[in-house]
Every structure is written in C-alpha cells, then in structure tokens.
Amino acid sequence: MCTGTEPPFLNGDLRLAGGLSGFEGRVEMFQQGAWGTVCDDGWDVADAEVVCRQLGFADGAVSATTQAIFGEGSGSIFLDDVACAGDEARLTDCDSRELFSHNCG
C-alpha cells in the first residue's frame, strides 16, 4: 500500500472515467492543475488509438464511441474537434481547436 499524495500530473496527461473497467470511459485531460474533458465531436478510432497509446495500452483501441456514452464530464472542456492521424504520441499532438476553445454541445 502506498502512502502520501498522488503522483504529480502533467499538462496533457489523460485518464478514462465513467467506464465499467479501466479499459473504457470518457477521455479526461489534465490542464493547469485540474481535470477536464475532451469533447467527442468527430471522435473516431484514430483518436482512440492515440489515447490508448498515451495511456500505455499496448494493443491499441478496439472502438471509439460518441454521444457521451460514458456520461458528460464536469469542469472545463479542454479539447474539441480532435482529428488524429493515429500515429501521434500524445493527444495534444493531434489537430484540434485551440486549447480551451470548443463548440461542444
């Protein structure tokens, strides 16, 4: 068992939330000391591949879902209109709207 505080998170770090296991969920991103969400507008398997790679899942993505299937997040929306090629190392390397700018509904 570990004691102390959580390890420090860095801007652009990701986590999955709201899923039934650690292998699925809403994509959340850490920015400026807080967790926020990544909008699923136009989300596809190339975007999910990058998320899985960044999170350390060696086998990649099986699918990508939209329409807040894992629930809407709380807090700020940090990324929107993400368009990954699929080979990027981090989600922030993908094309998207400017950080903190969104039209997510």
Task: Convert the pLDDT of each residue in 48-86 to its tens digit.
Answer: 999 999 999 877 666 676 666 676 777 788 888 899 998
Quote the pLDDT of residue 50.
93
Could you please state the CATH topology (level 3) that the domain comprising 14-93 is classified under: Mac-2 Binding Protein (3.10.250)
Quote the pLDDT of residue 6.
62
Least confident of 3-12, 23-32, 41-50, 53-62: 3-12
Distance CA 100, CA 28 (A): 13
Distance CA 90, CA 67 (A): 23
| Whether 38 contacts 29, CB under 8 Å | yes
Domain parsing of the chain, residue ranges: 14-93
